[in-house]
């Protein structure tokens, strides 16, 4: 293996994005300023810390937290080990979800016909009776006057996302349906993520609330650690803190999903599953801030687990009568809660402060609820499954941090504070983020084993990918197929391949095709649904 100095010389001029800033080749991606030169090397040649270094004041760039990156790195091996065992236990691996609700925002026809998009469901008889929807609905479903209903789902005022109606959906063993590469991409996937990022738009600015020139200044008093960020002269400081937190959450989720896809990639030549270093470089390592946001989400999720810890410890995880299983589950969970108490130093008190705090919080909720609904527009069953789980897990964490006071968190006073699906989603989502950080270390090992020529080729490919993603797409030449017609041709070709494989997606593709034709005919006689940003009347 060549020393890292050679790598720096070879690729120092590569991967310039947006407005470049000066950065030396020895600067870590963990530094405050975003690394705009040598991004790939900074991410992949970083050596994770092995000893915790948590302080009472912010020492790293994880905004609104009281802990640094090194602390997360020092604990993640243990955290991931316990979470990996925990999500395999019966309570945390069985999940009920409705994957077949219509997209509420636009007519979605981007169905994935790759066999890897499919999921394996379970018969209800395989689920312990006390975890079945009929039993849970007796104790968990809020009354009609406590929830807002939509077809197939509902939310309460305290919820940051929509929850599936217990009368709908399938039972799924999450351990048998891992999140990984499915081949789902193209316009449909792009539209989903574009709509999610469009939800990052808020009408209020905390900078304006702090300004003496504001016509109605709010009485905001912030800790010294955050006041400088909001009152400074930097460009980002004028951005509402809640908006920055929201963006970090969404971008961290996107980066984590990309990491999973690259770590569990299908080698089209050998047909084997394994990590794809080039995929990770193109999607994450070339943009170090994306990896920073995964760390941010880990701390946020750990803070939620720490805060809800007593409630989780009092929860009954025994569904089969085998109390040794319950004891094992609780032991693993206690290990996770212990780490959460050490590392989950997210400071939720600095958000939603002042006279307009409630307005801003309701706006934040509305945006994230829309994100949870956008997941019904994902055209890949497995992608939709994990998208719904993770948005539900993050939404549950946000509810724990911003909606529940200490009295509500007391399990003796509020035994049904969270539904079973919320508890399962919370832990599985934390596992997803922790696994992403573990996967990054695998990619670092692969990078260390690459020779000089391989490194240059991967950097060159990443440079091309970054340039292509930022370059406007040229108009198709005269006589070329339109995007819609080309999409139809691509979908038809995928359907033919599915039929040749003899998979169930052949029949499903036929049914979806017929449905598309019928929907198209009916759409001629009604107004268009959504061509702009997702609706916010929810």
In a domain, 372, yes or no: yes
C-alpha 174/C-alpha 432 separation (Å) is 12
pLDDT tens by residue, 415-458: 788 999 999 999 999 999 999 999 999 999 999 999 989 999 99
Taking only the tens place, the pLDDT of each residue in 178-229 is 998 888 888 888 899 999 998 877 764 433 433 333 333 333 333 333 333 3
Q: Which of 54, 117, 240, 383 is catalytic?
A: 383
Per the structure, the complete domain to which residue 447 belongs is given by 48-92+179-204+240-470
Does residue 524 form part of some domain?
no
Q: Is residue 14 scored above 50 in pLDDT?
A: no
Residue 506 in domain? no
Q: How many CB atoms lie within 10 A of CB 356?
A: 18
Within a domain: 290: yes
Are 225 and 232 in contact by the 8 Å Cβ rule? The answer is: no
pLDDT at 129: 84
Residue 142 gets which letter from DSSP?
P
- Domain-embedded: residue 26: no
pLDDT tens digits, 452-504:
899 999 998 988 888 876 655 444 334 434 444 444 444 554 455 445 445 54
Residues in the chain: 538
Residue pair 10/452 in contact (Cβ under 8 Å)? The answer is yes
Alpha helices, H only, 18-103: 39-44, 69-86, 90-93
Q: Is residue 385, in this structure, part of any structural domain at all?
A: yes
For residues 390 and 384, give the distance between their C-alpha atoms in angstroms, rounded to a whole number: 10
Write the CB contacts of 506 (distance below 8 Å, at least 6 apart in sequence).
Answer: 495, 498, 499
CA 262 – CA 178 distance, rounded (Å): 13
- Whether the pTM exceeds 0.85: the reply is no
Long-range contacts of 400-408 (CB under 8 A, 24+ apart): 400/304, 400/307, 400/308, 401/300, 401/303, 401/304, 401/307, 401/346, 401/348, 402/348, 402/351, 402/352, 402/361, 403/158, 403/160, 404/158, 404/307, 404/308
Judge whether 309 lies within some domain.
yes
- Whether the CB-CB separation of 441 and 294 falls below 8 Å is answered with no
Residue 118 phi/psi, 5-degree rounding, is -75, 160
Predicted confidence band at 320 (pLDDT cuts at 50, 70, 90)?
low
Order of all β-strands in the sheet with 148-150? 148-150, 153-155, 163-164
| Overall domain count for the chain | 1
3-class DSSP assignment, residue 451: coil
Q: Which of 117, 161, 377, 380 is catalytic?
A: 380
Active site residue 380: yes
Average pLDDT, the chain: 75
Asked, for residue 387, whether it belongs to a domain, the answer is: yes
Tell me whether residue 279 is one of the annotated catalytic residues: no
Higher pLDDT, 490 or 380: 380
Extract the tokens encoding 25: 């080749």
CA–CA separation, 89 and 96 (whole Å): 15
């Amino acid at each position: 293996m060549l020393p890292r100095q050679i790598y720096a010389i070879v690729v120092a001029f590569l991967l310039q994005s947006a407005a470049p800033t000066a950065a030396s080749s020895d600067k870590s991606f963990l530094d405050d300023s975003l690394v705009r030169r040598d991004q790939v090397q900074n991410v992949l040649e970083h050596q994770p810390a092995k000893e915790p270094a948590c302080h009472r004041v912010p020492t790293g760039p994880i905004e609104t937290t009281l802990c640094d990156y090194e602390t997360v790195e020092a604990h993640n091996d243990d955290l991931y080990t316990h979470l990996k065992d925990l999500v395999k236990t019966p309570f945390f691996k069985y999940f009920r979800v409705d994957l077949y609700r219509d997209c509420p925002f636009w007519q979605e026809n981007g169905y994935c016909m790759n066999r890897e998009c499919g999921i394996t469901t379970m018969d209800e008889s395989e689920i312990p009776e006390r975890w079945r929807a009929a039993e849970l609905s007796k104790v968990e479903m809020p009354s009609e006057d406590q929830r807002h209903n939509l077809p197939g789902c509902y939310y309460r005022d305290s919820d940051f996302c929509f929850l599936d109606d217990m009368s709908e959906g399938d039972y799924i063993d999450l351990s048998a349906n891992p999140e990984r590469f499915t081949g789902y991409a193209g316009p449909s996937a792009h539209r989903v993520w574009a709509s999610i990022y469009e939800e990052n738009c808020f009408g209020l600015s905390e900078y304006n609330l702090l300004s003496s020139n504001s016509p109605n200044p709010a009485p905001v008093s912030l800790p010294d650690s955050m006041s400088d960020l909001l009152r400074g002269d930097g460009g980002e400081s004028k951005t509402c803190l809640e908006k920055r937190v929201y963006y970090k959450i969404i971008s961290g989720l996107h980066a984590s999903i990309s990491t999973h896809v690259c770590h569990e990639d299908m080698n089209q030549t050998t047909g084997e599953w394994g990590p794809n270093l080039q995929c990770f470089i193109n999607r994450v390592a070339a943009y170090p801030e994306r990896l920073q946001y995964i760390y941010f989400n880990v701390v946020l999720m750990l803070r939620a687990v720490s805060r809800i810890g007593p409630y989780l410890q009092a929860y009954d995880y025994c569904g089969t009568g085998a109390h040794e299983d319950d004891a094992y589950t609780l032991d693993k969970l206690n290990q996770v809660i212990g780490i959460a108490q050490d590392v989950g130093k997210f400071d939720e008190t600095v958000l939603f402060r002042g006279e307009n705090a409630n307005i801003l919080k309701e706006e934040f909720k509305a945006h994230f609820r829309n994100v949870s609904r956008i997941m019904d527009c994902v055209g890949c069953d497995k992608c939709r499954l994990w998208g719904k789980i993770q948005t539900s897990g993050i939404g549950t964490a946000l509810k724990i941090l911003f909606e529940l006071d200490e009295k509500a968190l007391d399990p003796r006073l509020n035994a049904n504070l969270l539904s079973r699906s919320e508890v399962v989603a919370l832990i599985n989502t934390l596992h997803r983020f922790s696994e992403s950080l573990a996967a990054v270390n695998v990619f670092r090992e692969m990078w260390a084993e690459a020779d000089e020529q391989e490194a240059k080729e991967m950097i060159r490919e990443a440079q091309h990918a970054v340039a292509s993603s930022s370059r406007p797409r040229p108009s198709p030449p005269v006589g070329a197929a339109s995007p819609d017609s080309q999409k139809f041709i691509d979908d038809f070709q995928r359907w033919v391949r599915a039929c040749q494989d003899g998979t169930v997606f052949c029949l499903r593709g036929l049914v979806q095709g017929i449905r598309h034709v019928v929907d198209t005919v009916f759409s001629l006689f009604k107004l268009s649904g959504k061509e702009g940003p997702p609706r916010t009347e929810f």
